[in-house]
Amino acid sequence: MSQRDIKNRISSVQNIRKITRAMEMVAAARLRRAEQRIEALRPYAGAIRRMTRQAAEAAGSGELSKLPILASRDSESTVAILMVTADRGLAGAFNSQIIRAGIRAADEFVGEGKQVEYFATGRRGVSSLTFRGREPKGSYVGFTDRPSYANAREVAEALMAAYVDGEVDRVEILYNGYVSPLVQEVRRETLLPLQQATILEGNERDREGSEGDSGHHALVEYEPDPVDILQRLVPDYVEISIFRAMLESTASEHGARMTAMRSASENAGDVISDLTLEMNRARQAEITQEIMEVVGGAEALS
């Protein structure tokens, strides 16, 4: 490879590094905003999920079956899986790990003799499912960079309608939970039926925003009764759970992209160093060759 070819390659890699650095800074700025949105939502989301859990415990499993949205099926034949992905790529394994986890969960249900209905947010998830011949029943795209509550409500209404109409007997959601800019973990939660929902497990994430929650609750008298309260709370619980998952996914996406672009910039720097060293060696070889030619010419003249 000539010096000119190496110089052209160095110039190309330098241009790529400028782009990846710019994308890293943009992702970092968007990540800070996404973190702020998560922090603002957590107290409200934690309160809704905690109230829903407490009302469900007060109502009892027998009372929950009186309402269609709260009814638990005797047998589950169809499961809805919502995969929360992004509209864009260049974020490492962010999208692929959700798709793999969703397909793995679907295969488990199919192995149990159940049917699976796919729902997906983000163009990456929709296109991947379509490519694999698993056409999603619900596709929601164009908002993953900055999801709004209206987007979550649209998805929630479709899932709740499918559950109430008996089209699905269970609703699960998979998304990337935000831990830190460097760490995103795949989370799988059950939204419906309420009797099997993740909120009834009382895990620590469901207590976000609560202070001094020791696990013991005072006796509460509900007016109206807990079932009526749950009829109003459950739609809010489903919507807020999906919205929280969207915000967590957005922050995870920006964190993953920032990390991926930083790694790409560092790799570009390594490539530039290797190419520069190769160019210096080529230049040195050319200089050595020219000196040998001069020496050879001088010897010939003498």
pLDDT by residue for the chain (302 residues), tens only, comes to 777 888 888 899 999 999 999 999 999 999 999 999 999 998 888 888 888 878 877 776 666 666 777 776 778 899 999 999 999 988 888 999 999 999 999 999 999 999 999 999 999 999 999 999 999 999 999 999 899 999 999 999 999 999 988 899 999 999 999 998 888 999 999 998 877 777 665 544 444 444 444 444 445 666 667 777 888 888 888 999 999 999 999 999 999 999 999 999 999 999 999 988 888 887 887 788 778 878 777 777 76
Backbone dihedral angles phi then psi of residue 163, each to the nearest 5 degrees: -70, -45
Q: Is 218 helix (H, G, I), strand (E, B) or coil?
A: coil
Domains and CATH numbers, the chain: 3-21+261-301 (1.10.287.80), 29-259 (3.40.1380.10)
pTM for the model: 0.82
Estimate to the nearest angstrom the gap between the alpha carbon of 149 and the chain centroid. 17
Give the Å distances, CA to CA, from 109 to 79, 112, 297.
Answer: 8, 5, 82
pLDDT above 70 coverage of the chain, percent: 88
Q: How far apart are CA 230 and CA 236, in angstroms?
A: 10
Q: What is the pLDDT of residues 8-40, one digit of tens each?
A: 888 999 999 999 999 999 999 999 999 999 999
Nearest to 113 by CA among 75, 82, 83: 75
Whether the CB-CB separation of 149 and 243 falls below 8 Å is answered with yes
